[in-house]
Structure 1
Amino acid sequence: MSEFSEKMGIEVGNAFKSGYNCSEAIVEAFRKYAGVNIDDNAFRLASGFGGGIGHARNICGALVGCTMVISTLIGRNTPEEKPLKEIYPVTKEFHDRFEKEFGSTMCKDLMPYEFNTRDHLKNCLKLTNRIGKFLAEFLEEKGLLTV
């Protein structure tokens, strides 16, 4: 684990502790401390994904936040800019690694506690920290960040 990935894990955890949901915490830390250019309006897109999309316990909100960060770095603004076949393999690889590392991509599996309880907050803090490190390592490995 690199110094950068350790720092990003801590910063994601700090963002979660300060009141951001899991998706927002990932995006906020990477835009603030890793220089990922996500403006305030784009950041707002992360808000509804916490708790597996508004506490529905579906796809992990932190995974969605990670995908937003990756997409910001490799995505496109128009179909003419680049083909999706250049983007999808990277996000699919991250998804598959995430599932292997954490055992699931579903909030209901990763966070078995009732929302807004001490156990939930403790679990999600630990999980967002680990996911922040995991994303940082992936971005470094792929050469997607120049930090």
Structure 2
Amino acid sequence: MSKQEEAEKLFLEGYNCAQSVAGAFAKEMQMDQKTVMRMISSFGGGMGRMREVCGAVSGMAFVAGVLYGYDDPKDDIAKKEHYERVQYLASEFKKETGSIICRELLGIEGKDHAATPSKRTQEYYKKRPCVKMVGLAAGILEQYMKKSN
């Protein structure tokens, strides 16, 4: 199963966008899925359902940090390289979608910031592009990882 398919499957199981992308890469991060899901859970809905940066993009950045991030605060070269990596991943996503902002992707500018998540009904899945967004983000990251190795 591709990472795109895995992320989409996780989303359809009820995980948020960030969890779906990061969870698809748990094995590669050498982390158990439950830990990954808890660590990234705050980033769904554009961070706590505030509709800011798309959770799928946050999930990509999270995985990139675990796999390629830096840990020396004085290593400006590693920091720059990592920020370039994150910017590249986000720009690939934005090329396909036009935005990395949740509310823009959903077309709900100024609406629906309630903390209560929407019920996952058939109607929800018809209206929301989220399953496609998580698949796209996971696919972009998978391709990046193949090129990097």
TM (norm. structure 2) is 0.77
Deviation at 1:80, TM superposition (A): 5.3
Q: Which residue among 47, 56, 59 is the counterpart of 2:53?
A: 59
- Provide structure 1 residue ranges, at least 5 long, that are not aligned to the other structure: 1-5
Per the alignment, residue 36 of structure 1 pairs with: 29
3-state SS of paired residue (1:45) = helix
Runs of 4+ in 1 over 4 A off after TM superposition: 39-43
Worse-matched range after superposition: 106-115 or 55-64: 106-115
> Is 1:94 the equivalent of 2:100?
no
Per the alignment, residue 107 of structure 1 pairs with: 102
> Is 1:136 the equivalent of 2:142?
yes
3-state SS of paired residue (2:2) = helix
**Preserved CA contact (<8 Å) 2:46 2:54:** yes
RMSD: 2.4
Residues 54-100 of structure 1, C-alpha deviations (whole Å, 9 max, x = no match): 11111101100000111111112332567312311111111222211
Deviation at 1:43, TM superposition (A): 4.4
- Provide structure 2 residue ranges, at least 5 long, that are not aligned to the other structure: 113-117
Deviation at 1:37, TM superposition (A): 2.6
The aligned amino acid for 2:88 is E
The aligned amino acid for 2:70 is R
The aligned amino acid for 1:134 is I
Deviation at 1:41, TM superposition (A): 4.5
In the alignment of these two chains, the number of paired residues is 136
Per the alignment, residue 19 of structure 1 pairs with: 14
**Preserved CA contact (<8 Å) 2:22 2:37:** yes
**Preserved CA contact (<8 Å) 2:89 2:140:** no
Per the alignment, residue 8 of structure 1 pairs with: 3
Deviation at 1:120, TM superposition (A): 3.8
